[in-house]
Amino acid sequence: MIPARIVEAAAAIAVALILLSGCTPGSDPKTASPVAAKVNGDEITVQQIEQALSRAGNIPDAQQKQAQKQMLERLIDQQLLVQQAVQKKLDRDPHVMALVDAAKRQIFAQAYLEQVVQGAPKSTAQQVKAFYLEHPELFEDRRLYRLKEIAIAAPPDIQPQLRAEVARLEEQRDKTKTLPQLALWLKSHDLKFQTNLSVQAAEQLPSELIGKIHQMKDGDLLVVPRGNAVVVTQLDRSQRAPLTEEQATPYIEQILQHRKRLDLSSETLSRLRTSAKVEYVGEFEKRAGNAAPSPAEATSQPKSTERAPESK
């Protein structure tokens, strides 16, 4: 295992290299951007602050100055750590050098893909309308759900018995007694559990459950296994909160654009793999028949959940 001090040093050095590489090749780093602070003689520029803030997401105009000040303090702390790491010659440590190299490779790969996906075409009005009609659970028939949940620590060998008990309880007419009776059954079998009550809009639900919960009636149960746990969800009641096509359009455009960017990324990687000469060596040659990593895995593309905007 790599010592924590090495990992921390590598992270600090890698980020410092990223920030320092913000200047264009051949330019003088001391004149490329106004200096915001000096740390034992090392300069931190306004450009470095802006680059760091750009990765923090959208910041309201009224909070820009405060955010710049806070980010500068973070960069000062970071520079102090980098200086100490270099002083201790951690920048020459083989483990640190390997981690820095891995970070740079990931950044270069991501930067190239970001450049590629900028060419993704915008969605047409027809595509937006079609998506709106295909997903009534998110838009035209969007609902707010009041959900009662029991999260149960249940090893796989007990789950069939648990499912049978849930099915038995679901058949009774008085749905208000279902979860309390299930709790008594769990206690009698020494199974640990936690209860929860929440109100969630359709877009706040896990994407794989939206369609299922949309089809449920008040009092219905949904059993979802999660490894050594099971979550039993009861729909207490729901309330319609539809979104018009006009309200949903900005969100749908985001989803469709994201899909096109992912498709373009995948196509680019497939093309590069087809044209490249990839040779597996040693024991990996025997595994060459296995499926190649997906583009998302190869580039660590962030996952996106398709969620509708909240109504106002």
Q: Does residue 134 form part of some domain?
A: no
What's the chain's Rg over C-alpha atoms? 26
151: domain range? 143-240
Q: Does residue 14 form part of some domain?
A: yes
Q: How many CB atoms lie within 10 A of CB 166?
A: 21
Pair (100, 12) in one structural domain: yes
pLDDT for 9? 52
Dist. CA 300–CA 220, nearest whole Å: 38
Pair (159, 214) in one structural domain: yes
Q: Which residue has the higher pLDDT, 233 or 13?
A: 233
Residue with tokens 């900028």: 118
pLDDT for 34? 92
* Percent of the chain whose predicted confidence (pLDDT) is above 70: 82
Pair (224, 279) in one structural domain: no
Looking at the structure of the chain, the number of domains it has is 3
Pair (229, 275) in one structural domain: no
Pair (105, 8) in one structural domain: yes
pLDDT, mean of residues 84-102: 92
Q: Is the pLDDT of residue 113 over 90?
A: yes
Q: Does residue 99 form part of some domain?
A: yes
pLDDT for 56? 80
Dist. CA 77–CA 209, nearest whole Å: 43
Backbone angles phi, psi at 259, to 5 degrees: -60, -40
Q: Does residue 260 form part of some domain?
A: yes
Q: Does residue 138 form part of some domain?
A: no
Last residue of one domain, picked from the residues 211, 240, 269 = 240
Pair (147, 45) in one structural domain: no
Dist. CA 75–CA 70, nearest whole Å: 9
Pair (19, 96) in one structural domain: yes
Q: What is the pLDDT of residues 223-236, one digit of tens each?
A: 999 889 999 999 99
Dist. CA 162–CA 278, nearest whole Å: 50
207: CATH: 3.10.50.40
Question: pLDDT band at residue 25, thresholds of 50, 70 and 90?
Answer: very low
Q: How many CB atoms lie within 10 A of CB 192?
A: 11
Pair (106, 12) in one structural domain: yes
Dist. CA 32–CA 66, nearest whole Å: 24
Q: For residue 228, what are the contacts with CB-CB under 8 A and spacing of at least 6?
A: 153, 154, 155, 156
Q: Is the pLDDT of residue 126 over 60?
A: yes
Pair (10, 108) in one structural domain: yes
Q: Does residue 135 form part of some domain?
A: no
Pair (236, 198) in one structural domain: yes
Last residue of one domain, picked from the residues 197, 218, 240 = 240
Helix axes 4-20 and 94-117, enclosed angle (nearest 10): 40
Pair (16, 71) in one structural domain: yes
Q: What is the pLDDT of residues 26-74, one digit of tens each?
A: 445 445 679 999 999 999 999 999 989 988 878 888 899 999 999 999 9
Pair (186, 99) in one structural domain: no
In terms of average pLDDT, the best of 15-29, 164-178, 228-242 is 228-242
Dist. CA 209–CA 51, nearest whole Å: 38
pLDDT, mean of residues 290-298: 51
State the chain's mean pLDDT as an integer: 85
Q: Does residue 133 form part of some domain?
A: no
Instruction: Give the global pTM.
Output: 0.65
Which neighbouring-strand residues pair with 273?
A: none
Q: Does residue 217 form part of some domain?
A: yes
